[in-house]
Amino acid sequence: MLKSQTSEDQILLAHTASWLSERGVSKQRFVEQYLLPSLREAELVTEEPSIADDYELWFQSRKKMVTAMLNCKQNIPLSWKWPWVVCMPEPYQYRCRQELMALNNSLYLPLPKGGDIRMPTVSTLSRLHKEFADVVAASRPAHDGMLDQRDEAAELEDYADQLLDLIESAAAELVNIQMGTGIIPRREMIALLNERLKHD
């Protein structure tokens, strides 16, 4: 997990920077192949020219503007937040959504695509396995059976973060079960999860 960020812009930029660096994506490719198509789909690009020469000038101005955003010299428009998130591939998008929700004191509990009851949904069991492995890897503070002030604060924070990630993944899988099959295990717990989703 990335170092805790304090604003939505910082969260977006941190995960975007990780993605571009780790996947070798240039800023031009990011703008042209990822961000602009997402903004078009959200109907946030309305003045796009059709003539080639005009388009090249227009595109270069958009690239310059986005580069300023990536370099923290210009704020990201609020209306761009979710199109920007959506254009990220996994796992960057998932982590970005998690941190955006955490910034607003909420857990990220994604609903399966489609949203209709008893529609086939994709299990997130592989993510649960990973999150549990991360919990075990970060569990050093609990190895002596006690959690107290003698434990390292940084290790405790990491352990707590990994536990929260596991809770989010487990809750998401419970929603998958309900949406995919109609089965509602422990009705009271699912009711609480659904209520939380409404508030989010």
Q: Which pLDDT tens digit goes with each residue over 114-140?
A: 444 567 888 989 999 999 999 999 999
Structural domain boundaries, residue 74:
8-103
Same domain for 71 and 33, yes or no, is yes
Structure tokens at 16: 């975007």
- Asked whether residue 24 is assigned to any structural domain, the reply reads yes
- pLDDT above 90 for 188: no
190 has a pLDDT exceeding 60: no
* 15, 99: one domain: yes
For residue range 20-30, list pLDDT tens digits in order. 999 999 998 99
Any domain includes 36: yes
pLDDT of residue 180: 82
Instruction: Quickly state the pLDDT bin for 198 (edges 50, 70, 90).
Output: low
Q: Is residue 112 part of a domain?
A: no
Same domain for 12 and 76: yes
Instruction: Kindly state whether residue 80 falls inside one of the protein's structural domains.
Output: yes
In a domain, 164, yes or no: yes
Does 132 share its domain with 66? Answer: no
**Percent of the chain scored above 90 by pLDDT?**
54
CA-based nearest residue to 86, from 36, 125, 25: 36
Residues 23 and 91 in one domain: yes
Judge if 90 and 143 occupy the same domain.
Answer: no
Higher pLDDT, 185 or 24: 24
Pick the last residue of a domain from 52, 72, 103. 103
Q: From CA 112, how far away is CA 120, in angstroms rounded?
A: 9
CA 81-82-83 angle, to 5 degrees, is 95
Band (pLDDT 50/70/90 cuts) for residue 143 is very high
Q: Tell me, yes or no, whether 138 and 63 share the same domain.
A: no
Kindly tell me if the per-residue pLDDT of 149 is higher than 70: yes
Instruction: Determine, yes or no, domain membership for 110.
Output: no
> Across all residues in the chain, what is the average pLDDT?
85
Number of folded domains that form the chain: 2
Mean pLDDT of 145-151: 93
Q: What is the pTM of this model?
A: 0.66
Plot region of 140 (φ>0 → left; ψ -120 to 50 → alpha; else → beta): alpha
Q: How many CA atoms lie within 13 A of 24 on its CB side?
A: 0
**What proportion of the chain, given as a percentage, has pLDDT over 70?**
84
